[in-house]
A and B are shown apart, each in its own frame.
Chain A
Amino acid sequence: QSALTQPASVSGSPGQSITISCTGTSRDVGSYNLVSWYHQLPDKAPKLLIYEVSERPSGISNRFSGSKSGNTASLTISGLQAEDEGDYYCCSFAGSGTYVFGTGTRVTAL
């Protein structure tokens, strides 16, 4: 159960779109449409952004979208805003009742 691989950092100018990748294996991301994404600010609990690859909970801006291809899931933030800065984590069901998180990506609005 190795952590899913995410880029350490992604940056963009306000208003731009950025995409964060989350690469797993055929035993986790590739086998289940059960990928979720979280945004974490310093000393705060993670906040759910996306579940089941591409579904948004109520109250989450449609600037956040998710997708998956093979063993890689992606989170796209459109119209990047300063408030979007922070750490982003993907998470996937990995079978047998277990889960695995991604390594995390620090997003910076330049």
Chain B
Amino acid sequence: QVQLVQSGAEVMKPGASVKISCKASGYTFSSYYVHWVRQAPGQGLEWMGVIHPNGIGTFYAQKFQGRVTLTRDTSSTTVYMELSSLESEDTAIYSCTRETPRTSYFEHWGQGTLVTVSS
């Protein structure tokens, strides 16, 4: 079955960078897009970006341009999300989710990774 398993919770200092992993299994890794969505405590869902694991490219929300980087390792079927220049407002649960190409919906989600930014 399709599984997206994310790395564990992180506590970071302001100004630092965090890198979260999302290991995919149960499907052909290169055939599906992987998106990242975050949710601050008590807040709504916020789309951050998408990576096409077949190497076509990445797209980011304007808000995160220059601060977020999505990469993938096809040998380990893992997608990574790195967010830099962390601020307290970046405290949130970060989740990866899979999209069947050109369907524009998200059916499978990772368990979420809590990132806490605190001095």
A to B contact number (C-beta, < 8 Å): 65
Cα A51 to Cα B99 in complex, Å, equals: 12
How distant is the Cα of A52 from the Cα of B104 in the complex, in angstroms? 8
B109 partner residues in chain A, CB cutoff 8 A? 45-46
- Residues of B22-59 contacting chain A, CB below 8 A: 35, 37, 44-47, 50, 57, 59
On whether the beta carbons of B35 and A101 are closer than 8 Å, the reply is no
Neighbour of B106 across the interface among A46, A87, A96, CB < 8 A: A46
Contact of B44 among A34, A96, A98, A102 (CB under 8 A): A102
The docked-state distance in angstroms from the alpha carbon of A102 to that of B45 is 8
Q: Is A64 an interface residue (CB 8 A)?
A: no
Q: Kindly report which residue of chain B lies nearest to residue A49, judged by CB atoms.
A: B105
Q: Are A57 and B107 in contact (CB under 8 A)?
A: yes
Report the separation of the CA atoms of residues A78 and B11 in the bound assembly, to the nearest whole angstrom.
43
Complex contacts, A98 vs chain B, CB 8 Å: 47, 59-62
Contact yes or no, B107 A48, CB < 8 A: yes
Is B119 an interface residue when CB atoms closer than 8 A count as contact?
A: no
Measured in the bound complex, the distance between the Cα atoms of B44 and A102 in whole Å is 8
Contact B45 A52 (CB under 8 A): no
Q: What is the minimal beta-carbon distance from B43 to any residue of chain A, in angstroms?
A: 8
Tell me which residues from 45 to 72 in chain A have a Cβ below 8 Å from any Cβ of chain B: 45-46, 48, 51-52, 57
Tell me which residues across on chain A come within 8 A of B46, comparing CB atoms.
Answer: 3, 101
Contact B47 A99 (CB under 8 A): yes
Residue from B45, B62, B107 in contact with A101 in the complex, judged by beta carbons closer than 8 Å: B45
The 8 A-B residue pairs whose C-beta atoms are closest, nearest first, are A97-B59, A45-B109, A51-B105, A104-B44, A34-B104, A36-B105, A101-B45, A99-B47
Besides the contacts A46-B106, A99-B47, A99-B50, what 7 more A-B pairs have beta carbons closer than 8 Å? Answer: A36-B105, A45-B112, A48-B106, A51-B105, A52-B105, A91-B106, A99-B61
Residues of chain A having any CB pair with chain B under 8 Å: 1, 3, 32, 34, 36, 38, 40, 45-46, 48, 51-52, 57, 87, 89, 91, 93, 96-104
Interface CB pairs A-B, < 8 A, 8: A36-B104, A40-B45, A45-B109, A93-B104, A97-B50, A98-B59, A99-B47, A101-B47
